[in-house]
């Protein structure tokens, strides 16, 4: 945004504020008072979107008892929201009867793979940390020693998204603990260490991930790392449902992904980690497997197995907007499924839309 456009935007904001204040005073039959300036300052810094984020100090000229007075106000200029890959593909134009905030959704009956609900389910999109479920499946099927101690090294530091981690370089954990916090807390350095300590290192691990995807018939899937930080880790919702069904067969993946919290020993000191999905701790939900994910290009993502009205289902939500939107979408879907059973409805009532 140019400086001229930004100045016009700021001027309009100030004019709107002044008109609102004047109208309110006229409605109350009150004349402007000196403390009006204090109220302006009390509002704190304003926030607007602009191409160049940062903090600005804005000079304002106001009238107090017929005299001009100069005041200064901080303005925080926020960067505009980054469009997801789904938005760029136009998936946000697809509407559904549940008003889901996710651009992609899929619900399957786990027993017979019957599609109960789908929305853009064949579109391959970035899947962020849902990638870690395939990481877990590869580790478990490789039958590596789960008690072996692994060390976080500089190679595990995220230099793509610069994500934070509680695991400092030099931290030592068992392979089991690395897998536990990778699935439960979406620990990126733990996921990286799991891939790096596979026979043949990370390249061989990523190849094993892609080979497993082909074996499961995940035709729209491609992996480039073990953590999901890259936007090049892509899959469709239909593919992720296949992954969820395969991962559900592994008890350790069910347990680790659905623990609400866990204490692990890091270099001899206890450290507590928690889940990234608050639904697993809810007594209203019976969840057998889950994984969340988020990067800017992917939006908020969720893959989950749950029992609803006695029926085991696989749910996948991709490219959702808002921190709690993916779990809110799961809640909407649950109510919809609960309404189907009393009515005796199943496949004919399934909803399908999108590309």
- pLDDT at position 248: 98
Token pair for residue 287? 């969840």
**pTM for this one?**
0.77
Token pair for residue 187? 């620990």
- pLDDT at position 352: 72
- pLDDT at position 299: 96
Task: Write the pLDDT tens digit of every residue in 90-143.
Answer: 999 999 999 999 999 999 999 999 999 999 999 999 999 999 999 999 999 999
Bridge-based pairing of strands 67-78 and 54-64 is: antiparallel
Question: How many Å apart are CA 87 and CA 65, to the nearest integer?
Answer: 51
Question: How many Å apart are CA 79 and CA 50, to the nearest integer?
Answer: 5
The domains of the chain are located at: 99-340
Residues 6+ apart with CB under 8 A from 278: 327
Which residues contribute to the annotated binding site for substrate? 291
Whose CA is closest to 194, among 137, 252, 251? 137
Question: How many Å apart are CA 235 and CA 271, to the nearest integer?
Answer: 33
Q: Classify residue 314 by its DSSP letter.
A: E
- pLDDT at position 5: 41
| C-beta separation of 304 from 282 below 8 A | no
- pLDDT at position 342: 62
| C-beta separation of 158 from 193 below 8 A | no
Question: How many Å apart are CA 77 and CA 55, to the nearest integer?
Answer: 6
Tens-binned pLDDT, residue by residue, of the chain (355 aa):
444 343 434 344 434 444 343 333 333 434 444 444 344 343 445 554 444 556 677 778 888 888 888 888 777 666 667 899 999 999 999 999 999 999 999 999 999 999 999 999 999 999 999 999 999 999 999 999 999 999 999 999 999 999 999 999 999 999 999 999 999 999 999 999 999 999 999 999 999 999 999 999 999 999 999 999 999 999 999 999 999 999 999 999 999 999 999 999 887 889 999 999 999 999 999 999 999 999 999 999 999 999 999 999 999 999 999 889 999 999 999 999 998 876 555 544 456 776 6
Question: How many Å apart are CA 251 and CA 133, to the nearest integer?
Answer: 13
Helices and strands counted in the chain (H then E): 10, 15
Residue count of the chain: 355
Backbone torsions φ then ψ of 86, nearest 5 degrees: -65, -40
Backbone torsions φ then ψ of 234, nearest 5 degrees: -130, 155
User: For the residues of 254-298, what is the DSSP string, one character each?
Assistant: HHHHH-SEEEEEETTEEEEEE-S-GGGG-TT--EEEEEEEEETTT
Most distant CA pair in the chain, distance: 81
Active site residues: 129, 132, 186
Class of the CATH domain delimited by 99-340: alpha beta
User: For the residues of 187-249, what is the DSSP string, one character each?
Assistant: -HHHHHHHHHTSTTHHHHHHHHHHHHHHHTT-TT-B-S-SSS-STT-EE-HHHHHHHHHHHHT
């Amino acid at each position: 945004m140019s400086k001229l456009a930004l100045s016009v935007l700021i001027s309009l904001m100030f004019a709107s504020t002044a008109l609102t204040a004047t109208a309110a005073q006229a409605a109350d039959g009150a004349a402007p008072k000196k403390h009006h300036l204090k109220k302006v300052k009390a509002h704190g810094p304003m926030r607007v979107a602009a191409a160049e984020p940062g903090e600005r100090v804005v000079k304002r000229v106001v009238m107090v008892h017929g005299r001009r007075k100069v005041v200064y106000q901080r303005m925080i200029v926020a960067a505009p929201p980054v469009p997801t890959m789904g938005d760029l593909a136009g998936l946000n134009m697809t509407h559904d009867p549940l008003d889901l905030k996710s651009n992609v959704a899929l619900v399957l009956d786990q027993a017979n793979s019957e599609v109960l609900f789908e929305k853009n389910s064949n579109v391959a999109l970035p899947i962020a940390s849902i990638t870690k479920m395939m990481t877990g499946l590869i580790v478990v099927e490789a039958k590596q020693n789960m008690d072996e101690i692994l060390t976080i090294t500089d190679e595990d530091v995220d230099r793509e998204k610069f994500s934070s981690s509680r695991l400092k370089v030099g931290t030592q954990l068992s392979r089991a603990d690395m897998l536990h916090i990778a699935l439960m807390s979406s620990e990126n350095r733990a996921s990286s260490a799991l891939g790096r300590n596979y026979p043949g290192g990370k390249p061989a691990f990523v190849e094993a991930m892609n080979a497993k995807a082909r074996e499961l018939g995940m035709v729209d899937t491609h992996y480039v790392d073990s953590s999901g930080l890259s936007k090049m880790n892509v899959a469709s919702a239909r593919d992720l449902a296949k992954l969820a069904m395969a991962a559900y067969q592994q008890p350790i993946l069910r347990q680790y992904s659905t623990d609400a919290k866990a204490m692990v020993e890091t270099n001899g000191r206890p450290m507590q980690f928690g889940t990234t999905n608050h639904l697993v701790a809810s007594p209203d939900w019976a969840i057998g497997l889950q994984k969340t994910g988020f990067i800017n290009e992917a939006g908020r993502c969720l893959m989950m197995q749950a029992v609803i009205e006695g029926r085991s289902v696989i749910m996948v939500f991709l490219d959702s907007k808002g921190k709690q939107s993916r779990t809110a979408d799961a809640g909407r879907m649950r109510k919809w499924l609960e309404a189907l059973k009393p009515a005796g409805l199943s496949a004919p009532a399934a909803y399908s839309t999108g590309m």
